[in-house]
Amino acid sequence: MKVIAIGRNYAAHAKELNNPLPDAPVIFLKPDTAVLKDNKPFYLPDFSADIHYELEVVLKVCKEGKHIAEKFAGNYFDEVGLGIDFTARDLQSKFKEKGLPWELAKAFDNSAAISKFVPKSQFEDISALPFSLKINDELKQDGNTNMMLFSFEQIISFVSKYITLKKGDLIFTGTPEGVGKVFAGDKLEAWIADEQFLNFEIK
């Protein structure tokens, strides 16, 4: 499986990092070795002094598809969950300055923490899903998928023009504003509406 992630999909987040708004989805990949499951702790790596959390709604792909039309894109994912797109912001800033790919800042081991997944049919309207992150009981991110620049369907259609989607692939759909640094001892908890999806520690 692979993890496909979308950058700058919420205007307020693009702004907080001084990035322009994209006119097409910005995408990057994480390898399967990036996946961190079952609320296992995230260990701060020694190659970065500035690891950031980015809470994102994650889609699970349910069948293989290529060149998927937007109107059929909803048939290609049946479950949703939450994830933290851990980012080595210090490395990313250096790479961006030099115009180099950010891969090492995004694709390192355990950089894609994921929750359980539930059927999307559980939610009345996934295009207006509220989701939130608390760290040590303090609200840090409070998003809603109705603020995305590119919808789930647009993302799937766009990505599948270039990269075949396969059953089990995960799509991180971008983070709202409020990203920041994590510290050893932090407790991260995240919800979709009032259901808890993530609850784990930084070590």
Catalog residues that contact Mg ion under the rule CB under 5 A. Answer: 54, 85, 175
| Choice between 56 and 153, CB closer to Mg ion | 56
- In whole angstroms, how close is the CB of 109 to Mg ion at the nearest point? 17
In 8-86, the DSSP E strands lie at: 26-30, 35-36, 51-53, 55-61, 77-85
- In whole angstroms, how close is the CB of 3 to Mg ion at the nearest point? 11
User: How would you classify the pairing of strands 87-88 and 3-7?
Assistant: unpaired
| Choice between 21 and 69, CB closer to Mg ion | 21
Class of residue 91 by CB neighbours under 10 A (exposed 0-12, middle 13-18, buried 19+): buried
| Choice between 54 and 153, CB closer to Mg ion | 54
| Choice between 18 and 185, CB closer to Mg ion | 18
Both tokens assigned to 38: 């079952």
- In whole angstroms, how close is the CB of 186 to Mg ion at the nearest point? 18
Q: Are 184 and 121 in contact (CB under 8 A)?
A: no
- In whole angstroms, how close is the CB of 155 to Mg ion at the nearest point? 13
Run of H or E residues at 4: strand 3-7
What is the separation of C-alpha 148 from the centre of its chain, rounded to a whole number of angstroms?
A: 12
- In whole angstroms, how close is the CB of 124 to Mg ion at the nearest point? 26
| Choice between 85 and 153, CB closer to Mg ion | 85
Q: Are 77 and 59 in contact (CB under 8 A)?
A: yes
Q: Which residue is nearest to Mg ion (CB)?
A: 85
Cα–Cα distance for residue pair 89/105, rounded to 1 Å: 7
- In whole angstroms, how close is the CB of 67 to Mg ion at the nearest point? 25
Query: Residue 123 is which amino acid?
Result: F
| Choice between 111 and 160, CB closer to Mg ion | 111
What is the separation of C-alpha 16 from the centre of its chain, rounded to a whole number of angstroms?
A: 17
If DSSP codes are grouped into helix, strand and coil, which group holds residue 50? coil
